[in-house]
Amino acid sequence: GAVVSQHPSWVICKSGTSVKIECRSLDFQATTMFWYRQFPKQSLMLMATSNEGSKATYEQGVEKDKFLINHASLTLSTLTVTSAHPEDSSFYICSARSATGTMVEEQFFGPGTRLTVL
Amino acid sequence: GQNIDQPTEMTATEGAIVQINCTYQTSGFNGLFWYQQHAGEAPTFLSYNVLDGLEEKGRFSSFLSRSKGYSYLLLKELQMKDSASYLCAVLDSNYQLIWGAGTKLIIKP
């Protein structure tokens, strides 16, 4: 199957700093990438949908100025958590949907990034 | 509103069979997915149902009844490595995945 990578896999930062997470589709082109957040013992929560070359669509309650998303190419999307605070500590997961179909079977998940803000 | 319900936790014995249920109420329906998620890892795809009936894939089977808004994931010949959370997700009319909270499955020897 298709491979999606995320970098870094884990990060610890101080409160007030910004953290950038990269999501790459390694062997396919992804017109759409999704960013999820998952708190312990909870389900995945969709934060935003990112389409290549256009602005991301944020879910209700997600601050677009705090969570900056850039989908500059068909293989790369980045999520920047600006001025991170301890409550932003979470497991961030991206997924990518192939350009060749609309079925979510073709949505592949990255391994996730664990963010801890001190 | 949109809602997906599944049990929070289930326990089963190695070698046995377990059925994890999922009921849903969503705006539109374009398929139901089951994912497996081990602690600290991203979800991995298990199955996709869009038509009524049973889909079998090795030790795992998934069933769907659209009229009842109901699905189940059946795991046979349970192995210790099957201990994980199992997430039910529905693709709504906007082709957006709506996620259940997940069922934590504990396998005992």
CA distance A29 to A47: 21
Please tell me which residue, B97 or A62, carries the higher pLDDT value.
Answer: A62
Burial class of residue A63, CB neighbours in 10 A (0-12, 13-18, 19+): exposed
pLDDT-derived band at A105 (thresholds 50, 70, 90) equals: low
> For residue A24, is pLDDT > 90?
yes
Is residue A32 scored above 90 in pLDDT? no
Cite the beta strand spans of A1-89 per DSSP E. Answer: 4-7, 10-13, 19-25, 30-38, 45-51, 57-58, 67-73, 76-81
Q: Which of B29, B97, B98, B106 to mutate to test the interface with A (most CBs of A within 10 A)?
A: B97
Say yes or no to pLDDT of A104 above 60: no
pLDDT at A116: 95
Residues 6+ apart with CB under 8 A from A30: A4, A52, A74, A75, A77, A96, A97, A98, A99
Q: Say if B106 is an interface residue toward chain A (CB within 8 Å).
A: no
Q: Of B31, B41, B102, which has the smallest distance from its Cβ to A111's Cβ? A: B41
Whether the bond between B7 and the residue before it is cis, its omega within 30 degrees of 0, is no
pLDDT for the residue numbered A102: 52
* Number of DSSP helices (H) and strands (E) in chain A, helices first: 0, 11
**Gap from B51 CA to chain A (nearest CA, Å):** 14
CB contact under 8 A, A114 and B42: no
Residue A64 clears pLDDT 70, i.e. is over it:
yes
Record: contact B41-A110, CB cut-off 8 A:
no
Q: How far is the CA of B96 from the CAs of A21, A33, B2, B12, B26, in angstroms? A: 23, 12, 12, 32, 11
With contact defined as beta carbons under 8 Å apart, do A70 and A33 qualify?
no
Closest Cα in chain A to B88: A43
Alpha helix segments (H runs only) across A1-118: none
How far is it, in rounded angstroms, from Cα A59 to Cα A42? 17
Q: Given the structure tokens 């809602």, which residue do they identify?
A: B3
Query: Would you call B96 and A111 a contact, using CB atoms and an 8 Å cutoff?
Result: no
Q: Residue B76: its pLDDT value, please?
A: 97
Paired residues of B73 in beta bridges: B20, B62
Which residues contact residue A74 at a Cβ distance below 8 angstroms, ignoring those fewer than 6 apart? A25, A29, A30, A31, A52, A99
pLDDT band at A61 (very low <50, low <70, confident <90, very high): very high
**Does A112 score more than 90 pLDDT?**
yes
Beta carbons within 10 angstroms of residue A20's beta carbon: 14
